[in-house]
Amino acid sequence: MEKSFDYQPAAGRYERMSYKYCGKSGLQLPLISLGLWHNFGSVDNFDVATDMIKYAFDHGVTHFDLANNYGPVPGSAESNFGRILRENFRGYRDEMIISSKAGHEMWAGPYGGNSSRKNLMASIDQSLRRTGLEYFDIFYSHRYDGVTPVEETIQALIDIVKQGKALYIGISKYPPEQARIAYEMMAKAGVPCLISQYRYSMFDRAVEVETLPLAAEYGSGFIAFSPLAQGLLTDKYLNGIPEGSRAARSSGFLQLSQVTPEKVEAARRLNEIALRRGQTLAEMALAWVLKDERMTSVIVGASSVSQLADNLKALEHLDFTADELREIERVLSE
């Protein structure tokens, strides 16, 4: 017998979120999107993951960001998300923007982790099967691999749109030289780059020099990942390294060596500014990323509904005074 599910999305969900047009397109994205990089894999609590997806949707988060290798194990975040959709969101697919990516290591052998046409074409078919979707709203080249000609990768993305497997395409983590080639080629093919995804936070501002202006020049939207610097821009590390935190796990993406006294001191000073604003440090860090008019959305990760709720509160206070911005700049420049 088929299991019965009774989840009904909140009636006022779209009044709880602000949306912004993505670059020079007709597609709007929520200012805050939910990423499934961590906490949605086969090793994680499925019920908690389900509750986070529901809470996000109930609060107007329509964009969910995946990649083929998200887990662990690789692929399991897509499989779990597909199950959550089937069990709770039948009839709501057209209210969602679902993105995925390919290009990092995914399966054994020479074709399982690069930016070749072979990898992208196989990857999107696998990702569609895992999620149970007929198409992705956005499909990205997850990285420039340094070997595959950009033209090969971008032609594969263009063909993916023409085959109906994705509505839009994007690039992630491309160096400026390769990004320009990609933007030019997509535009000439009539399938412009909808969106560019890069790491960006108060503690990692490299994109401000070339990457962000270049995306704007070509009409691409821009979405930031790791806006909280893997937890450094929260109150988690203000008083040491908590047991079980990402920095405490040697296998995590945030290494213990990155939690430097200088970063901790900067976070403490930023936290004082946030408290004066009536925000947590995480809320202010998200608001700071969104202050740039070229920024379409910011991807947050969460390990609990309460953490996600805190992140969404950033939308309640997005404005900064000139004095606040100057004070933040002083902290970041020292």
**Per-residue model confidence as pLDDT tens digits over 158-211:** 999 999 999 999 999 999 999 999 999 999 999 999 999 999 999 999 999 999
DSSP conformation letters of 256-314: GGGS-HHHHHHHHHHHHHHHHTTS-HHHHHHHHHHTSTT--EEEE--SSHHHHHHHHGG
**Whole-prediction pTM value?**
0.93
Query: For the chain, which residues make up each domain, given as ranges?
Result: 18-231+287-319
3 pLDDT more than 70: no
pLDDT at 260: 85
Give tens-digit pLDDT for 78-101.
Answer: 999 999 999 999 999 999 999 999
256 pLDDT more than 90: no
CA count, 13 A, side-chain hemisphere, 19:
16
pLDDT at 1: 35
- Report percent pLDDT > 70 for the chain: 93
DSSP conformation letters of 153-216: HHHHHHHHHHTTSEEEEEEES--HHHHHHHHHHHHHTT--EEEEEEE-BTTB-GGGTTHHHHHH
pLDDT at 2: 44
DSSP conformation letters of 23-45: SSSS-EEESEEEE-SSS-STTS-
236 pLDDT tier (thresholds 50, 70, 90): confident
What is the architecture, at CATH level 2, of domain 18-231+287-319?
Alpha-Beta Barrel (3.20)
Site of tokens 């497997």? 165
What is the b/e burial string over 66-89, where b = at least 16 CB atoms within 10 angstroms of the residue's CB? bbbbbbeebbbbbbbbbbbbeebb
243 pLDDT more than 80: no
248 pLDDT tier (thresholds 50, 70, 90): very low
Tell me what the mean pLDDT of segment 38-62 comes to.
97
pLDDT at 244: 54
249 pLDDT more than 90: no
Running DSSP on this structure, what letter comes out for residue 65? E
140 pLDDT more than 60: yes
